[in-house]
């Protein structure tokens, strides 16, 4: 098979390689990958992977070989999957990291959902009931942001989408944002929940916007800047405010199935901002770094 692997000694940080098909272990399935997605963090941190490591985490395709014990999806089933090694013609995934995709949904519609969908879904779930609450999402034009806007609106929240420039806000109102604003300075009232994907000064400013009892989820650091909290800025009278980290993407099968169901029901649309042949991965990454991609990159393994 062919696969994209880490190449830290190159300018690109990746290369195409010919590799033997992976062998599934107990509790795993072998998948013929038809579509793979690229997450922002994967682009920013290509240099952290050892030379030759198969890259990527999001995929959708057909099961070639089911689990040895007969459980889970069987050969020929259509699945969406989350796990290391997704940018390859074939990949193995744990049973607790795959979900079946009904025939009514094209595999390309769900391939870009795993990482961003799990992140948005689990952080919002950890925030408690959202009905009537003000939910602020920074970096809302990105993959996590676009999914979070849709999920928060579906749960009845008042959604405030924050972007870096007016063009980056295109389409967010149609996804369910009640307000689309440029910069946190435009947020006029306190909020109950924050999903921050930017980090740095944005994280500090978002903390200052929290209402008593509010929660701020730090789930990304796209800015690359340090966050410095002013003296006494973490003190406030009233119900305690909370700053939470996020990084738990373990055993996502049930949540993947939920996301697929939301797509089937027309509640959720995958945040695809660039789609093309996987042979154009370099072009896609260049477009992302040039801020010409809103959402995620979807690769067709043609």
Chain region(s) in the chain for CATH 3.40.50.720: 127-245
- pLDDT (average), residues 98-125: 97
* Pairwise CA distance, residues 110 & 80, whole Å: 7
162-163-167-173 Cα dihedral, nearest 10 degrees: -30
- pLDDT (average), residues 228-237: 92
* Tokens matching residue 111: 């391939």
User: Measuring CA to CA, how many Å separate 42 from each of 78, 112, 217, 296?
Assistant: 25, 13, 20, 11
pLDDT at residue 170 in the model = 95
Tell me the average pLDDT of the chain.
96
Q: Is the pLDDT of residue 57 over 90?
A: yes
Residue 212, CB half-sphere, CA atoms under 13 Å: how many? 4
pLDDT at residue 154 in the model = 98
* Tokens matching residue 191: 């909020």
pLDDT at residue 247 in the model = 87
Digit-coded pLDDT (tens) for 198-228: 999 999 999 999 999 999 999 999 998 999 9
Digit-coded pLDDT (tens) for 234-293: 998 999 999 999 989 999 999 999 999 999 999 999 999 999 999 999 999 999 999 999
Chain region(s) in the chain for CATH 3.90.180.10: 2-115+249-300
Q: What is the Cα Rg of the chain in Å? A: 20
Q: Is the pLDDT of residue 47 over 90?
A: no
* Pairwise CA distance, residues 257 & 267, whole Å: 14
Q: Is the pLDDT of residue 4 over 90?
A: yes
- For the segment(s) 2-115+249-300, the CATH number from 1.10.150.20, 3.90.180.10, 3.20.20.70, 3.40.50.10860 is 3.90.180.10
For 127-245, CATH gives 3.40.50.720
Digit-coded pLDDT (tens) for 112-148: 999 999 999 999 999 999 999 999 999 999 999 999 9
């Amino acid at each position: 098979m062919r696969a994209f692997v880490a190449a830290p000694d190159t300018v690109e940080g990746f290369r195409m390689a010919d590799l033997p098909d992976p062998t599934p272990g107990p509790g795993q399935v072998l998948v013929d990958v038809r579509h793979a997605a690229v997450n922002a963090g994967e682009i920013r941190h290509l240099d952290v992977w050892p030379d030759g490591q198969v890259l990527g985490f999001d995929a959708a395709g057909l099961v070639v070989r089911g689990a040895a014990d007969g459980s889970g999806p069987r050969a020929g089933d259509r699945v969406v999957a989350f796990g290391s090694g997704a940018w390859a013609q074939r990949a193995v995934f744990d049973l607790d990291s795959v979900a079946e995709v009904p025939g009514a949904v094209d595999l390309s519609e769900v391939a870009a959902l795993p990482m961003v969908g799990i992140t948005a879904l689990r952080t919002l779930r950890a925030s408690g009931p959202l009905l009537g609450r003000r939910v602020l999402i920074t970096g809302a034009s990105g993959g996590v942001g676009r999914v979070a806007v849709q999920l928060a609106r579906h749960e009845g929240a008042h959604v405030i989408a924050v972007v870096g420039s007016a063009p980056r806000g295109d389409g967010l109102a149609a996804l369910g944002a009640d307000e689309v604003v440029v910069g946190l300075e435009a947020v006029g009232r306190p909020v109950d929940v924050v999903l921050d994907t930017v980090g740095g000064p944005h994280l500090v400013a978002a903390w200052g916007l929290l209402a008593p009892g509010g929660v701020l989820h730090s789930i990304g650091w796209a800015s690359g800047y340090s966050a410095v909290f002013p003296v006494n800025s973490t003190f406030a009278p009233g119900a305690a405010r909370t700053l939470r980290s996020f990084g738990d993407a373990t055993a996502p099968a049930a949540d993947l199935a939920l996301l697929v169901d939301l797509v089937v029901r027309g509640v959720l649309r995958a945040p695809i901002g660039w789609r093309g042949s996987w042979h154009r991965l370099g072009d896609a990454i260049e477009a992302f770094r040039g801020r010409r991609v809103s959402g995620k990159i979807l690769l067709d393994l043609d």
